[in-house]
Structure 1
Amino acid sequence: MYTKESLIRNLEQLEVDRNGTLLVHSSYKSIGEVEGGPDTILDALTDYMKNGLLVMPTHTWSYIDENNPRFHVQDSPSCVGILTELFRKRPGVVRSLHPTHSVAALGKDAEAFVTGNEKCDTPCGPQSPWGKLLERKATIMLLGVDLRRNTFMHGIEEWANIPNRVADRPVLLYTILPDGTEIPVPSRRHSGGENWSDYFWKVNDIFIKKGVMYTGRFGLAEVRICDADRMTSLLNQMLRINPDLFSTIDPLDPALEYEGDRT
Protein backbone atom coordinates (compact mmCIF):
# COMPACT_ATOMS: atom_id res chain seq x y z
CA MET A 1 0.00 0.00 0.00
CA TYR A 2 1.30 3.43 -0.94
CA THR A 3 1.50 6.30 1.54
CA LYS A 4 1.82 10.04 1.25
CA GLU A 5 5.52 9.75 2.04
CA SER A 6 6.17 7.09 -0.59
CA LEU A 7 4.31 9.09 -3.23
CA ILE A 8 6.35 12.20 -2.41
CA ARG A 9 9.48 10.09 -2.88
CA ASN A 10 8.13 9.10 -6.30
CA LEU A 11 7.79 12.79 -7.22
CA GLU A 12 11.36 13.38 -6.08
CA GLN A 13 12.54 10.46 -8.25
CA LEU A 14 10.64 11.96 -11.18
CA GLU A 15 12.58 15.19 -10.61
CA VAL A 16 9.51 17.39 -10.85
CA ASP A 17 10.42 21.03 -10.17
CA ARG A 18 8.94 21.86 -6.74
CA ASN A 19 9.10 25.60 -7.43
CA GLY A 20 7.68 25.54 -10.94
CA THR A 21 4.25 25.03 -12.50
CA LEU A 22 2.91 21.48 -12.66
CA LEU A 23 -0.24 20.45 -14.56
CA VAL A 24 -1.51 16.94 -13.74
CA HIS A 25 -3.77 14.79 -15.92
CA SER A 26 -4.64 11.71 -13.93
CA SER A 27 -6.18 8.26 -13.56
CA TYR A 28 -6.79 7.50 -9.90
CA LYS A 29 -7.30 3.76 -10.45
CA SER A 30 -3.92 3.39 -12.14
CA ILE A 31 -2.01 4.32 -8.98
CA GLY A 32 -2.96 1.27 -6.96
CA GLU A 33 -3.96 1.00 -3.31
CA VAL A 34 -3.19 4.16 -1.36
CA GLU A 35 -3.58 4.61 2.39
CA GLY A 36 -6.25 7.29 2.74
CA GLY A 37 -7.39 7.04 -0.88
CA PRO A 38 -7.49 9.97 -3.34
CA ASP A 39 -7.09 12.62 -0.65
CA THR A 40 -3.66 11.20 0.21
CA ILE A 41 -2.61 11.52 -3.43
CA LEU A 42 -3.73 15.15 -3.46
CA ASP A 43 -1.95 15.75 -0.15
CA ALA A 44 1.27 14.40 -1.66
CA LEU A 45 0.98 16.57 -4.76
CA THR A 46 0.06 19.75 -2.87
CA ASP A 47 2.76 19.30 -0.22
CA TYR A 48 5.39 18.63 -2.87
CA MET A 49 4.33 21.72 -4.87
CA LYS A 50 3.76 24.02 -1.88
CA ASN A 51 6.34 26.52 -3.19
CA GLY A 52 5.13 26.30 -6.79
CA LEU A 53 1.83 26.17 -8.67
CA LEU A 54 -0.23 22.97 -8.94
CA VAL A 55 -2.86 22.87 -11.70
CA MET A 56 -5.47 20.29 -12.66
CA PRO A 57 -8.02 20.32 -15.49
CA THR A 58 -11.64 20.58 -14.34
CA HIS A 59 -13.26 20.26 -17.74
CA THR A 60 -17.01 20.17 -18.35
CA TRP A 61 -17.02 19.82 -22.14
CA SER A 62 -18.82 16.44 -21.94
CA TYR A 63 -22.07 18.04 -20.79
CA ILE A 64 -21.91 21.83 -21.15
CA ASP A 65 -23.13 22.70 -24.64
CA GLU A 66 -25.78 24.73 -26.47
CA ASN A 67 -28.49 22.45 -25.05
CA ASN A 68 -27.13 22.77 -21.50
CA PRO A 69 -25.28 26.09 -21.65
CA ARG A 70 -24.80 27.05 -17.99
CA PHE A 71 -21.50 26.28 -16.26
CA HIS A 72 -21.72 26.80 -12.50
CA VAL A 73 -18.20 27.52 -11.28
CA GLN A 74 -18.91 26.28 -7.77
CA ASP A 75 -21.11 23.29 -8.53
CA SER A 76 -20.51 21.93 -12.04
CA PRO A 77 -18.43 18.75 -11.60
CA SER A 78 -15.26 17.99 -13.49
CA CYS A 79 -15.67 15.31 -16.15
CA VAL A 80 -12.00 14.27 -16.15
CA GLY A 81 -11.57 12.15 -13.04
CA ILE A 82 -12.08 11.94 -9.31
CA LEU A 83 -8.77 13.59 -8.41
CA THR A 84 -9.67 16.70 -10.39
CA GLU A 85 -13.14 16.86 -8.84
CA LEU A 86 -11.83 16.57 -5.28
CA PHE A 87 -8.98 18.99 -5.97
CA ARG A 88 -11.24 21.82 -7.16
CA LYS A 89 -13.19 21.68 -3.86
CA ARG A 90 -10.13 21.99 -1.62
CA PRO A 91 -9.48 25.10 0.47
CA GLY A 92 -7.44 27.71 -1.36
CA VAL A 93 -7.99 26.21 -4.81
CA VAL A 94 -9.31 28.61 -7.46
CA ARG A 95 -11.14 27.55 -10.61
CA SER A 96 -11.04 29.39 -13.90
CA LEU A 97 -14.26 30.57 -15.52
CA HIS A 98 -14.15 28.92 -18.94
CA PRO A 99 -17.43 27.01 -19.45
CA THR A 100 -15.93 23.89 -21.05
CA HIS A 101 -12.16 23.83 -20.38
CA SER A 102 -11.67 25.27 -16.91
CA VAL A 103 -8.70 24.46 -14.70
CA ALA A 104 -8.20 24.56 -10.94
CA ALA A 105 -5.01 25.96 -9.43
CA LEU A 106 -3.36 26.13 -6.01
CA GLY A 107 -0.23 27.96 -4.97
CA LYS A 108 2.01 30.64 -6.39
CA ASP A 109 0.12 33.18 -8.57
CA ALA A 110 -2.93 30.90 -8.75
CA GLU A 111 -5.41 33.79 -9.09
CA ALA A 112 -3.42 35.43 -11.88
CA PHE A 113 -3.07 32.08 -13.62
CA VAL A 114 -6.82 31.47 -13.89
CA THR A 115 -7.89 35.10 -14.44
CA GLY A 116 -9.50 35.93 -17.77
CA ASN A 117 -10.20 32.39 -18.96
CA GLU A 118 -13.85 33.30 -19.64
CA LYS A 119 -12.66 35.85 -22.21
CA CYS A 120 -11.24 33.08 -24.41
CA ASP A 121 -13.61 32.03 -27.18
CA THR A 122 -11.83 28.72 -27.85
CA PRO A 123 -10.95 25.88 -25.48
CA CYS A 124 -7.18 26.46 -25.35
CA GLY A 125 -6.48 29.97 -26.63
CA PRO A 126 -3.05 31.57 -26.13
CA GLN A 127 -4.41 33.84 -23.35
CA SER A 128 -5.99 30.89 -21.51
CA PRO A 129 -4.31 28.91 -18.74
CA TRP A 130 -3.17 26.50 -21.47
CA GLY A 131 -1.24 29.32 -23.10
CA LYS A 132 0.08 30.43 -19.72
CA LEU A 133 1.55 26.96 -19.22
CA LEU A 134 3.84 27.71 -22.15
CA GLU A 135 4.75 31.14 -20.78
CA ARG A 136 5.73 29.49 -17.50
CA LYS A 137 7.67 26.66 -19.17
CA ALA A 138 5.49 24.32 -17.15
CA THR A 139 5.79 20.60 -16.54
CA ILE A 140 2.89 18.40 -17.63
CA MET A 141 2.46 15.15 -15.71
CA LEU A 142 0.41 12.40 -17.35
CA LEU A 143 -0.31 10.22 -14.34
CA GLY A 144 -1.55 6.83 -15.50
CA VAL A 145 -2.78 8.28 -18.81
CA ASP A 146 -1.07 8.69 -22.17
CA LEU A 147 -0.70 11.51 -24.67
CA ARG A 148 -4.31 11.14 -25.80
CA ARG A 149 -5.26 12.95 -22.57
CA ASN A 150 -2.78 15.79 -23.06
CA THR A 151 -5.03 18.84 -23.53
CA PHE A 152 -2.00 21.08 -24.04
CA MET A 153 -1.47 19.46 -27.43
CA HIS A 154 -4.91 20.71 -28.49
CA GLY A 155 -3.60 24.15 -27.59
CA ILE A 156 -0.53 23.77 -29.80
CA GLU A 157 -2.77 22.83 -32.73
CA GLU A 158 -5.01 25.84 -32.03
CA TRP A 159 -2.06 28.25 -31.92
CA ALA A 160 -0.71 26.77 -35.16
CA ASN A 161 -4.11 27.36 -36.83
CA ILE A 162 -4.52 23.74 -37.91
CA PRO A 163 -7.75 23.57 -39.97
CA ASN A 164 -10.95 22.06 -38.58
CA ARG A 165 -9.87 22.06 -34.95
CA VAL A 166 -12.34 24.64 -33.64
CA ALA A 167 -15.76 25.61 -34.96
CA ASP A 168 -16.17 28.76 -37.03
CA ARG A 169 -19.51 29.53 -35.39
CA PRO A 170 -19.62 30.17 -31.63
CA VAL A 171 -22.36 28.89 -29.37
CA LEU A 172 -23.46 31.06 -26.48
CA LEU A 173 -22.59 29.52 -23.14
CA TYR A 174 -22.82 31.07 -19.68
CA THR A 175 -20.53 31.02 -16.68
CA ILE A 176 -22.48 31.30 -13.42
CA LEU A 177 -20.60 32.75 -10.45
CA PRO A 178 -21.35 31.67 -6.87
CA ASP A 179 -23.40 34.85 -6.32
CA GLY A 180 -25.60 34.02 -9.32
CA THR A 181 -24.01 36.46 -11.74
CA GLU A 182 -24.23 35.19 -15.34
CA ILE A 183 -21.33 35.87 -17.70
CA PRO A 184 -22.12 35.22 -21.38
CA VAL A 185 -19.26 33.35 -23.07
CA PRO A 186 -19.44 32.88 -26.86
CA SER A 187 -17.47 29.70 -27.38
CA ARG A 188 -16.08 28.07 -30.52
CA ARG A 189 -15.85 24.45 -29.48
CA HIS A 190 -13.58 21.70 -30.76
CA SER A 191 -15.00 20.53 -34.06
CA GLY A 192 -14.52 18.43 -37.16
CA GLY A 193 -16.50 15.37 -36.16
CA GLU A 194 -13.35 13.58 -35.01
CA ASN A 195 -11.55 13.13 -31.74
CA TRP A 196 -8.18 14.34 -32.99
CA SER A 197 -6.50 13.48 -29.70
CA ASP A 198 -6.95 9.79 -30.51
CA TYR A 199 -3.89 10.21 -32.72
CA PHE A 200 -1.65 12.05 -30.24
CA TRP A 201 -0.05 8.68 -29.39
CA LYS A 202 1.88 8.87 -32.67
CA VAL A 203 4.49 11.23 -31.20
CA ASN A 204 5.13 9.26 -27.99
CA ASP A 205 8.42 7.76 -29.16
CA ILE A 206 9.80 10.91 -30.77
CA PHE A 207 8.93 12.89 -27.64
CA ILE A 208 11.13 10.55 -25.63
CA LYS A 209 13.88 10.50 -28.28
CA LYS A 210 14.01 14.30 -28.45
CA GLY A 211 13.96 14.90 -24.70
CA VAL A 212 10.46 16.38 -24.70
CA MET A 213 9.20 13.66 -22.36
CA TYR A 214 10.46 10.95 -20.03
CA THR A 215 8.72 8.22 -18.08
CA GLY A 216 8.67 6.97 -14.51
CA ARG A 217 6.36 5.69 -11.80
CA PHE A 218 3.93 7.14 -9.27
CA GLY A 219 2.66 4.26 -7.20
CA LEU A 220 1.78 1.58 -9.75
CA ALA A 221 1.00 4.12 -12.45
CA GLU A 222 3.21 4.75 -15.44
CA VAL A 223 3.91 8.46 -15.62
CA ARG A 224 4.93 10.66 -18.53
CA ILE A 225 6.67 13.91 -17.62
CA CYS A 226 6.47 16.47 -20.44
CA ASP A 227 8.27 19.79 -20.93
CA ALA A 228 5.67 22.25 -22.28
CA ASP A 229 8.25 24.50 -23.93
CA ARG A 230 10.12 21.71 -25.71
CA MET A 231 6.86 20.04 -26.69
CA THR A 232 5.61 23.23 -28.33
CA SER A 233 8.84 23.76 -30.24
CA LEU A 234 8.96 20.22 -31.61
CA LEU A 235 5.26 19.99 -32.49
CA ASN A 236 5.30 23.37 -34.22
CA GLN A 237 8.09 22.06 -36.42
CA MET A 238 6.26 18.79 -37.10
CA LEU A 239 2.96 20.56 -37.86
CA ARG A 240 4.65 22.93 -40.30
CA ILE A 241 5.88 19.89 -42.22
CA ASN A 242 2.59 18.01 -41.91
CA PRO A 243 -0.47 19.98 -40.74
CA ASP A 244 -2.47 16.72 -40.92
CA LEU A 245 -0.17 14.99 -38.42
CA PHE A 246 -3.06 14.24 -36.06
CA SER A 247 -5.80 14.07 -38.69
CA THR A 248 -5.14 10.47 -39.66
CA ILE A 249 -3.96 7.22 -38.12
CA ASP A 250 -0.99 7.11 -40.50
CA PRO A 251 2.28 6.63 -38.58
CA LEU A 252 5.12 9.15 -38.70
CA ASP A 253 7.20 9.19 -41.85
CA PRO A 254 10.51 7.59 -40.80
CA ALA A 255 12.32 9.48 -43.57
CA LEU A 256 11.58 12.86 -42.01
CA GLU A 257 14.30 14.39 -39.85
CA TYR A 258 13.54 17.03 -37.27
CA GLU A 259 15.85 19.58 -35.72
CA GLY A 260 18.43 17.86 -33.53
CA ASP A 261 17.41 14.40 -34.79
CA ARG A 262 20.61 12.65 -35.74
CA THR A 263 19.92 9.06 -34.68
Structure 2
Amino acid sequence: MHTKESLLNDLKKLKINPEGTLLVHSSYKSIGEVTGGPETVLDSLSAFMKEGLLVLPTHTWEYVDKDNPVFDVKNSPSNVGILTEKFRQRENVYRSEHPTHSVAALGMDAQKFTEGEYKYATSCDRESVWGKFLDRKADILLVGVDLTKNTFIHGIEEWVGIQGRMTDTHEDLYSILNSGEKVHVPSRRHQGLSWSDHFWKVEEILLEEGAMKKGTFGDATVRVVDAEKTAELLTELLQENPDLFSDNEPLSDKWRYYFQNQK
Protein backbone atom coordinates (compact mmCIF):
# COMPACT_ATOMS: atom_id res chain seq x y z
CA MET A 1 0.00 0.00 0.00
CA HIS A 2 1.47 3.34 -1.05
CA THR A 3 1.34 6.41 1.19
CA LYS A 4 1.98 10.11 0.81
CA GLU A 5 5.45 9.63 2.27
CA SER A 6 6.37 6.74 -0.03
CA LEU A 7 5.13 8.63 -3.09
CA LEU A 8 7.12 11.69 -2.04
CA ASN A 9 10.22 9.52 -1.83
CA ASP A 10 9.52 8.22 -5.35
CA LEU A 11 9.29 11.80 -6.64
CA LYS A 12 12.59 12.72 -4.99
CA LYS A 13 14.31 9.82 -6.73
CA LEU A 14 13.17 11.14 -10.11
CA LYS A 15 15.31 14.28 -9.60
CA ILE A 16 12.59 16.65 -10.76
CA ASN A 17 13.22 20.31 -9.93
CA PRO A 18 10.80 21.06 -7.04
CA GLU A 19 11.16 24.80 -7.63
CA GLY A 20 10.43 24.58 -11.36
CA THR A 21 7.34 23.78 -13.41
CA LEU A 22 5.93 20.25 -13.54
CA LEU A 23 3.19 19.07 -15.91
CA VAL A 24 1.65 15.70 -14.99
CA HIS A 25 -0.22 13.38 -17.37
CA SER A 26 -1.53 10.39 -15.45
CA SER A 27 -3.28 7.07 -15.13
CA TYR A 28 -4.36 6.82 -11.50
CA LYS A 29 -4.96 3.05 -11.69
CA SER A 30 -1.36 2.45 -12.75
CA ILE A 31 -0.08 3.71 -9.37
CA GLY A 32 -1.62 0.82 -7.47
CA GLU A 33 -3.28 0.86 -4.07
CA VAL A 34 -2.82 4.15 -2.22
CA THR A 35 -3.90 4.93 1.32
CA GLY A 36 -6.38 7.77 0.93
CA GLY A 37 -6.82 7.21 -2.81
CA PRO A 38 -6.49 9.96 -5.43
CA GLU A 39 -6.38 12.74 -2.85
CA THR A 40 -3.19 11.27 -1.37
CA VAL A 41 -1.57 11.19 -4.81
CA LEU A 42 -2.44 14.86 -5.31
CA ASP A 43 -1.22 15.66 -1.79
CA SER A 44 2.16 14.11 -2.58
CA LEU A 45 2.53 15.99 -5.89
CA SER A 46 1.43 19.26 -4.29
CA ALA A 47 3.81 18.87 -1.35
CA PHE A 48 6.73 18.04 -3.61
CA MET A 49 6.09 21.08 -5.82
CA LYS A 50 5.16 23.50 -3.01
CA GLU A 51 7.98 25.90 -4.02
CA GLY A 52 7.26 25.55 -7.75
CA LEU A 53 4.30 25.23 -10.12
CA LEU A 54 2.27 22.02 -10.45
CA VAL A 55 0.10 21.70 -13.57
CA LEU A 56 -2.37 19.01 -14.66
CA PRO A 57 -4.34 18.99 -17.93
CA THR A 58 -8.10 19.39 -17.55
CA HIS A 59 -9.02 18.92 -21.19
CA THR A 60 -12.58 18.86 -22.50
CA TRP A 61 -11.94 18.18 -26.22
CA GLU A 62 -13.85 14.90 -25.96
CA TYR A 63 -17.23 16.60 -25.56
CA VAL A 64 -16.89 20.34 -26.21
CA ASP A 65 -17.54 20.67 -29.95
CA LYS A 66 -19.85 22.30 -32.48
CA ASP A 67 -22.82 20.34 -31.08
CA ASN A 68 -21.95 21.17 -27.46
CA PRO A 69 -19.98 24.39 -27.88
CA VAL A 70 -19.88 25.89 -24.37
CA PHE A 71 -17.04 25.33 -21.91
CA ASP A 72 -17.56 26.48 -18.33
CA VAL A 73 -14.22 26.91 -16.56
CA LYS A 74 -15.78 26.31 -13.13
CA ASN A 75 -18.09 23.42 -13.96
CA SER A 76 -17.05 21.54 -17.10
CA PRO A 77 -15.45 18.24 -16.01
CA SER A 78 -12.07 17.11 -17.23
CA ASN A 79 -12.10 14.18 -19.65
CA VAL A 80 -8.52 13.07 -18.96
CA GLY A 81 -8.70 11.16 -15.70
CA ILE A 82 -9.77 11.21 -12.07
CA LEU A 83 -6.65 12.98 -10.79
CA THR A 84 -7.20 15.90 -13.16
CA GLU A 85 -10.87 16.22 -12.25
CA LYS A 86 -10.17 16.24 -8.51
CA PHE A 87 -7.19 18.55 -8.88
CA ARG A 88 -9.12 21.30 -10.71
CA GLN A 89 -11.57 21.50 -7.78
CA ARG A 90 -8.90 21.93 -5.10
CA GLU A 91 -8.36 25.07 -3.08
CA ASN A 92 -5.98 27.63 -4.61
CA VAL A 93 -5.93 25.84 -7.98
CA TYR A 94 -6.44 28.04 -11.05
CA ARG A 95 -7.91 26.61 -14.25
CA SER A 96 -7.25 28.13 -17.66
CA GLU A 97 -10.17 29.17 -19.85
CA HIS A 98 -9.39 27.48 -23.17
CA PRO A 99 -12.53 25.61 -24.36
CA THR A 100 -10.85 22.29 -25.25
CA HIS A 101 -7.31 22.21 -23.82
CA SER A 102 -7.47 23.81 -20.39
CA VAL A 103 -5.00 23.09 -17.61
CA ALA A 104 -5.17 23.55 -13.84
CA ALA A 105 -2.24 24.97 -11.88
CA LEU A 106 -1.20 25.26 -8.25
CA GLY A 107 1.64 27.22 -6.72
CA MET A 108 4.09 29.78 -8.04
CA ASP A 109 2.28 32.39 -10.23
CA ALA A 110 -0.49 29.89 -11.04
CA GLN A 111 -3.04 32.61 -11.75
CA LYS A 112 -0.78 34.50 -14.15
CA PHE A 113 0.30 31.27 -15.83
CA THR A 114 -3.28 30.27 -16.67
CA GLU A 115 -4.88 33.60 -17.55
CA GLY A 116 -5.94 34.63 -21.05
CA GLU A 117 -6.04 31.17 -22.64
CA TYR A 118 -9.42 31.81 -24.27
CA LYS A 119 -7.65 34.19 -26.68
CA TYR A 120 -5.99 31.36 -28.63
CA ALA A 121 -7.64 29.81 -31.69
CA THR A 122 -5.65 26.57 -31.54
CA SER A 123 -5.11 24.08 -28.75
CA CYS A 124 -1.36 24.62 -28.34
CA ASP A 125 -0.55 28.14 -29.55
CA ARG A 126 3.10 29.09 -28.97
CA GLU A 127 2.00 31.91 -26.63
CA SER A 128 -0.33 29.62 -24.65
CA VAL A 129 0.50 27.56 -21.57
CA TRP A 130 1.90 24.87 -23.89
CA GLY A 131 4.53 27.29 -25.14
CA LYS A 132 5.18 28.50 -21.61
CA PHE A 133 6.21 24.95 -20.65
CA LEU A 134 9.06 25.34 -23.13
CA ASP A 135 9.96 28.85 -21.96
CA ARG A 136 10.06 27.65 -18.35
CA LYS A 137 12.11 24.53 -19.19
CA ALA A 138 9.43 22.43 -17.53
CA ASP A 139 9.51 18.77 -16.66
CA ILE A 140 6.65 16.63 -17.96
CA LEU A 141 5.82 13.61 -15.80
CA LEU A 142 3.97 10.79 -17.54
CA VAL A 143 2.58 8.54 -14.80
CA GLY A 144 1.59 5.13 -16.15
CA VAL A 145 1.11 6.55 -19.65
CA ASP A 146 3.52 6.86 -22.56
CA LEU A 147 4.41 9.56 -25.07
CA THR A 148 1.12 9.10 -26.92
CA LYS A 149 -0.51 11.08 -24.07
CA ASN A 150 2.01 13.92 -24.16
CA THR A 151 0.06 16.96 -25.39
CA PHE A 152 3.29 19.00 -25.50
CA ILE A 153 4.32 17.12 -28.66
CA HIS A 154 1.16 18.40 -30.37
CA GLY A 155 2.48 21.84 -29.51
CA ILE A 156 5.85 21.15 -31.15
CA GLU A 157 4.08 20.00 -34.32
CA GLU A 158 1.99 23.17 -34.32
CA TRP A 159 4.99 25.47 -33.82
CA VAL A 160 6.97 23.74 -36.58
CA GLY A 161 3.98 24.25 -38.87
CA ILE A 162 3.30 20.64 -39.84
CA GLN A 163 0.52 20.62 -42.43
CA GLY A 164 -2.73 18.74 -41.93
CA ARG A 165 -2.76 18.81 -38.16
CA MET A 166 -5.36 21.55 -37.68
CA THR A 167 -8.56 22.37 -39.52
CA ASP A 168 -8.38 25.33 -41.89
CA THR A 169 -11.75 26.60 -40.70
CA HIS A 170 -12.83 27.63 -37.23
CA GLU A 171 -15.45 25.98 -35.05
CA ASP A 172 -17.66 28.33 -33.03
CA LEU A 173 -16.90 27.51 -29.40
CA TYR A 174 -17.50 29.55 -26.25
CA SER A 175 -15.87 29.83 -22.84
CA ILE A 176 -17.61 30.93 -19.65
CA LEU A 177 -14.76 32.64 -17.82
CA ASN A 178 -13.98 32.80 -14.12
CA SER A 179 -15.67 36.21 -14.15
CA GLY A 180 -18.89 34.64 -15.45
CA GLU A 181 -18.57 36.35 -18.83
CA LYS A 182 -19.30 34.18 -21.88
CA VAL A 183 -16.86 34.79 -24.74
CA HIS A 184 -16.72 33.55 -28.32
CA VAL A 185 -13.61 31.44 -29.04
CA PRO A 186 -13.36 30.55 -32.77
CA SER A 187 -11.27 27.38 -32.67
CA ARG A 188 -9.26 25.33 -35.13
CA ARG A 189 -9.38 21.69 -34.11
CA HIS A 190 -7.05 18.71 -34.56
CA GLN A 191 -7.98 16.69 -37.62
CA GLY A 192 -7.02 13.69 -39.73
CA LEU A 193 -5.06 10.71 -38.46
CA SER A 194 -4.53 10.03 -34.76
CA TRP A 195 -1.04 11.50 -34.95
CA SER A 196 -0.46 11.13 -31.23
CA ASP A 197 -0.88 7.35 -31.52
CA HIS A 198 2.56 7.38 -33.17
CA PHE A 199 4.40 9.63 -30.70
CA TRP A 200 5.91 6.46 -29.17
CA LYS A 201 8.29 6.32 -32.14
CA VAL A 202 10.65 8.88 -30.59
CA GLU A 203 10.91 7.28 -27.14
CA GLU A 204 14.22 5.56 -27.76
CA ILE A 205 15.95 8.61 -29.20
CA LEU A 206 14.65 10.85 -26.39
CA LEU A 207 16.15 8.42 -23.88
CA GLU A 208 19.43 8.18 -25.78
CA GLU A 209 19.77 11.96 -26.08
CA GLY A 210 18.96 12.63 -22.42
CA ALA A 211 15.64 14.33 -23.15
CA MET A 212 13.74 11.70 -21.16
CA LYS A 213 14.36 9.29 -18.30
CA LYS A 214 12.32 6.54 -16.69
CA GLY A 215 11.50 5.69 -13.11
CA THR A 216 8.65 4.60 -10.86
CA PHE A 217 5.88 6.28 -8.90
CA GLY A 218 4.06 3.77 -6.77
CA ASP A 219 3.55 0.79 -9.07
CA ALA A 220 3.56 2.95 -12.18
CA THR A 221 6.33 3.22 -14.72
CA VAL A 222 6.92 6.91 -15.29
CA ARG A 223 8.67 8.98 -17.91
CA VAL A 224 10.18 12.35 -17.06
CA VAL A 225 10.39 14.47 -20.21
CA ASP A 226 12.59 17.56 -20.46
CA ALA A 227 10.45 20.04 -22.40
CA GLU A 228 13.36 22.10 -23.74
CA LYS A 229 15.48 19.16 -24.95
CA THR A 230 12.45 17.40 -26.40
CA ALA A 231 11.37 20.49 -28.33
CA GLU A 232 14.88 20.90 -29.72
CA LEU A 233 15.15 17.27 -30.87
CA LEU A 234 11.64 16.95 -32.29
CA THR A 235 11.78 20.30 -34.05
CA GLU A 236 14.82 19.07 -35.95
CA LEU A 237 13.27 15.69 -36.68
CA LEU A 238 9.98 17.17 -37.89
CA GLN A 239 11.67 19.77 -40.07
CA GLU A 240 13.56 16.97 -41.80
CA ASN A 241 10.59 14.62 -41.90
CA PRO A 242 7.15 16.24 -41.53
CA ASP A 243 5.55 12.78 -41.89
CA LEU A 244 7.40 11.43 -38.85
CA PHE A 245 4.19 10.60 -36.97
CA SER A 246 2.10 9.49 -39.94
CA ASP A 247 2.65 5.75 -39.44
CA ASN A 248 3.84 3.06 -37.04
CA GLU A 249 7.21 2.49 -38.70
CA PRO A 250 10.04 2.55 -36.13
CA LEU A 251 12.34 5.55 -36.20
CA SER A 252 15.20 4.97 -38.62
CA ASP A 253 18.68 4.33 -37.20
CA LYS A 254 19.97 7.16 -39.37
CA TRP A 255 18.63 9.66 -36.80
CA ARG A 256 20.69 8.14 -34.02
CA TYR A 257 23.80 8.46 -36.16
CA TYR A 258 22.80 12.00 -37.09
CA PHE A 259 22.50 13.21 -33.51
CA GLN A 260 25.58 11.30 -32.40
CA ASN A 261 27.59 13.09 -35.10
CA GLN A 262 26.31 16.47 -33.89
CA LYS A 263 27.96 16.00 -30.51
Partner of 1:115: 115
SS of 2:33 mapped into structure 1: coil
Q: Distance in 1 between matches of 2:86 and 2:29?
A: 15
Is the 1:117–1:127 Cα contact (8 Å) retained in structure 2? no
Q: How many residues align?
A: 262
Q: Partner letter of residue 117 of structure 1?
A: E
- Scaled by the length of structure 2, the TM-score of the pair is 0.97
Change (3 A) 1:47 1:261: farther
Question: What corresponds to 1:67 in structure 2?
Answer: 67
Partner in structure 2 of residue 96 of structure 1:
96
- CA RMSD in angstroms comes to 1.2
* Residue deviations 1:203-256 (CA, integer Å, cap 9, x gap): 111110000000000000000000000000000111111110001222212123
Q: 2:248 maps to what in 1?
A: 249
Tell me the residue number matched to 2:163. 163
Structure 2 SS opposite 1:231: helix
* Alignment gaps of 5+ in structure 1: none
Q: CA 1:248–1:108 in structure 2 vs 1: closer, same or farther (change >3 Å)?
A: same
Change (3 A) 1:45 1:28: same
Gaps of 5+ in 2: none
Q: Deviations over 1:30-68 (max 9, x none)?
A: 000000000000000001100000000000000000110
For 1:172 and 1:63, the matched residues in 2 are separated by 14
User: Aligned with 1:211: secondary structure?
Assistant: coil
Q: Secondary structure at the match of 2:62?
A: coil
**Amino acid of the structure 1 residue aligned with 2:212:** M
Partner of 1:173: helix, strand, or coil?
Answer: strand
Determine the C-alpha separation between the residues in 2 that align with 1:162 and 1:97.
Answer: 26
Contact 1:174 1:183 in 2 (8 A): yes
SS in 1 for 2:259: coil
Q: What is the rounded CA distance, in whole Å, between the counterparts of 1:179 and 1:132 in structure 2?
A: 23
Superposed, 1:1-263 pairs within 5 Å as 1-178=1-178, 180-192=180-192, 194-256=193-255, 257-260=257-260
| 2-structure distance, mates of 1:255, 1:131 | 29
Of the structure 1 ranges 174-183 and 138-147, higher mean CA displacement relative to structure 2 is found in: 174-183
1:176 maps to a residue whose letter is I
Alpha-carbon distance in 2 for matches of 1:33, 1:262: 45
Deviations 1:64-114 (A, max 9, x none): 001100001111000000000000000000000000000000000111111
Distance in structure 2 (CA, Å) of the matches to 1:109 and 1:96: 13
The alpha-carbon deviation at position 261 of structure 1 amounts to 5.2
Identical residues among aligned pairs (%): 56
Query: How far apart, CA to CA, are the structure 2 residues paired with 1:106 and 1:180?
Result: 21
Deviation at 1:262, TM superposition (A): 7.6
Q: Aligned partner of 1:213: which letter?
A: M
- Match of 1:230, as an amino acid? K
TM-score (norm 1): 0.97
One-letter identity of the residue aligned with 2:243: D
Aligned partner of residue 253 in structure 2, secondary structure: coil
Q: Which structure has more helix as a fraction of its residues?
A: 2
Aligned to 2:200, what secondary structure does the other structure show?
helix
Distance 2:180 2:10 in 1: 42
Q: Is the 8 A contact 1:16 1:139 kept in 2?
A: yes
Q: Secondary structure at the match of 1:258?
A: helix
Q: Per the alignment, do residues 179 and 138 of structure 1 end up closer, same or farther by CA in structure 2, a change over 3 Å counting?
A: closer
